[in-house]
Amino acid sequence: PGDGRAYVGWADLGSLPKLNTANPEVQDYLIRVSRFWLNFGFDGIRVDVANEISPEFVRRWRAELKAQKPEVYLVGEVWDLRPEYLQGDQFDSLMNYTLGRGGSPPAFGGILGFARGGPLQNGRRALADLARVYATYPEAVAAMGFNLIGSHDTPRVLTELGGGGLRDTPSPEALARLRLASAMLYALPGASVVFQGEECGFTGERGQWPVNELYRYPLQWDRCRAEVLQHYRLLGRLKGQLKAFQSPLFRTYRGEEALMAFLRGEPGVGEVLAAFNNSSEEALMPLPPGQWRDAVEGRVYQRQVRLAGLGWRYLERVR
Q: What is the rounded CA–CA span in Å between residue 96 and residue 191?
A: 10
Question: Within 10 A of 237 (CB to CB), how many other CB atoms are there?
Answer: 12
In 3D space, the residue among 253, 258, 259 whose CA is nearest the CA of residue 272 turns out to be 253
pLDDT of amino acid 271: 98
pTM for this entry:
0.94
pLDDT of amino acid 306: 98
What's the chain's length in residues?
319
Structural domains for the chain = 10-246 (3.20.20.80), 250-317 (2.60.40.1180)
What residues have CB less than 8 Å from 204, skipping those under 6 apart? Answer: 155, 156, 159, 165, 166, 214, 215, 216, 217
* Bridge partners (DSSP) listed for residue 95: 146
Q: Which residues are catalytic?
A: 48, 77
pLDDT of amino acid 73: 98
CB burial of 164-177 (b: ≥16 within 10 Å; e: otherwise) equals beeeeebeeebbbb
Question: Within 10 A of 274 (CB to CB), how many other CB atoms are there?
Answer: 24
- pLDDT beneath 70: ranges in the chain: 105-106, 209-212
pLDDT of amino acid 212: 67
N-term to C-term CA, the chain: 66
**Strand, helix or coil for residue 87:** coil
In 3D space, the residue among 227, 242, 286 whose CA is nearest the CA of residue 261 turns out to be 286
For residue 276, which amino acid is it? Answer: F
Kindly report the backbone phi and psi dihedral angles of residue 133, in degrees, each rounded to the nearest multiple of 5, phi listed first: -65, -50
* Bridge partners (DSSP) listed for residue 307: 283
Query: Residue 210: is the preceding peptide bond cis (ω within 30°)?
Result: yes
For residue 258, which amino acid is it? Answer: A
Q: What is the rounded CA–CA span in Å between residue 64 and residue 35?
A: 9
Question: Within 10 A of 53 (CB to CB), how many other CB atoms are there?
Answer: 18
What residues have CB less than 8 Å from 71, skipping those under 6 apart? Answer: 43
pLDDT of amino acid 103: 78
* Bridge partners (DSSP) listed for residue 17: 9
Q: Is 136 exposed, middle or buried (0-12, 13-18, 19+ CB in 10 A)?
A: middle
Q: Classify residue 50 by its DSSP letter.
A: G
Q: Write out pLDDT tens, residues 4-54.
A: 889 999 888 888 899 999 999 999 999 999 999 999 999 999 999 999 999
**Strand, helix or coil for residue 30:** helix
